[in-house]
Structure 1
Amino acid sequence: MDPRARPFRSVLYIPGSKERALEKAKTLPVDAIIFDLEDAVAVEEKPAARSLLTETLKAGGYGPRFKIVRVNGLDTEWGRKDVQAMAFAGADAVLLPKVEKTAQLDELSEMLPGMPLWAMMETPRGILNADALAAHPRLEGFVMGTNDLAKELGCRFRPDRLAMMSSLTHCLLAARAHGVVAVDGVYNAFKDEEGLMAECEQGRDLGFDGKTLIHPAQVPTANAAFAPSEEEIDLARRQIAAFEEAEKNGQGVAVVDGRIVENLHIVTARETLAKAAAIAQLEAST
């Protein structure tokens, strides 16, 4: 199945050590959850978090939400045990932090036969190797780790994310070249809804599938930003109808709202309607 066939508008980080948060996540209208065993868990809590998350995932209850587990790096004392625990816990994918080379994905593939792999894109070397990583046969998703990347770049925060733009678009190009999901980084000011919406809209306009989130309050904003609007759905339907009518008359183009509509526009229009249908189906079963 094409990993992009399902919505990834909202991808919420949940600490694997927080039982209350793990339970609450079962009721949130998110498309996907990243159960975090890495940055969100203190060193002394990592073994207990692994056990708690394993039992929680085995118990189920997350419905159609896509379940991603971010393990610790394989070069840490916890990483391999995390991966071994997740092999049969019921996760939909495993997310590896600080991926920089395909050998890391090869190693993880051997440990998790058949499970989809996702990669955190959060270091300069990882960004530069994005094309090779996206081409890996088991890789299905990129998650932009913009906080770590900013630290590595030594760049300053700007609302327009100018310093991040080359990294974001480079990963996005690689993801699209290989049919990989691409999810934008987090917005840290979780009480700033206006700023979040602006960054969601920027990520959407660049072409990202959705946004990673750090707080449940951010979910509705991301869901709205990355879903086709009623106007976009209406336009897509009218474009398809006009183009089909033009074809019946032996013409290769149509005109809708004063703009030329060609076959490439119809491909986009059908993708818009398919995305809207997938979102509706997901929301109906959540």
Structure 2
Amino acid sequence: MNNLNKRLKLFSILTTIGMIIVLLQGALVTKTESGQGCGDSWPLCHGQVIPETINTLETIIEYSHRAVSAILGIMVIILAIWMWKKLPHVRETKLLAIIAILFIIFQGLLGAAAVMWGQSSAVLALHFGFSLVSFASVLLLTILVFEEDKGPQVRSPRISLSFKWFIYFVFTYLYLVVYTGALVRHTGSSLACAGWPLCNGQIIPPLKANIAVQFGHRVAAALMFIVIIALVIHVYRYYKDEITLRYTVVISLILVSIQVLSGAYVVFTQLSLLSSMLHAFIITCLFGTISYLVMLATRAK
């Protein structure tokens, strides 16, 4: 049983890391405009399982993204089934397993639709959102594996109903902020506002076209930062004895702070590859952390 748990732990960690890689690859595809690197065929690349000639960077990026996504799709399904069989007594296992499988499928179908028929920027932005939900479900399944070793030591936090709903609000609002960020990328609005924190030298610029998309995301991100500060203050004021809650909200504050700075870094470096990848990585970590906070809230008494 111990060896089995070790294998399950290792597999869950690898799957979680793999999901982060897939998310970053997706951001790289968007950044380099490699979505049509394999033509308009899917799941084949230029009509072939392995293209005879891979002579462009766009093809290499898109093909590697498809290949890794396919492998991770299989790994997520295996992990979900494995968890369902080995930890059916854990309350969250079955729901997370279902979410993991459903969203990895949705993610793949949206990607396929974008390649074969094209999609609006609004729909393409959903692809990143679905990817984050899929990643979060895998991350939480991994956490459940490690919690199983603690047994009775894993306890439910004691929080009020109103605070529980506030946590749900934070999660929902973060998802909306993520969506606005993805919309910025897919509408080519990343550099619509020159300078930071001002937009083209103005506190409130003329809200037209790409400027409105970029400025809207900045405002939403700033409010997210304030909301998480409020979350931390509330926890330290009323729930300072709940150590897990404290650690989780502090990590959230650190990540959202880095995310804000990485957004500025994107502007100052004129959308460099490093800044784009960093921005995608930090929001992935932040979304996973807030998702864990939601799981804690669902356990609250």
Do they superpose with TM above 0.5?
no
Which has the larger share of helix? 2
Higher relative contact order (CA 8 A, sep 6+): 2
TM score, norm. by length of structure 1: 0.35
Q: TM-score, normalised by structure 2?
A: 0.34
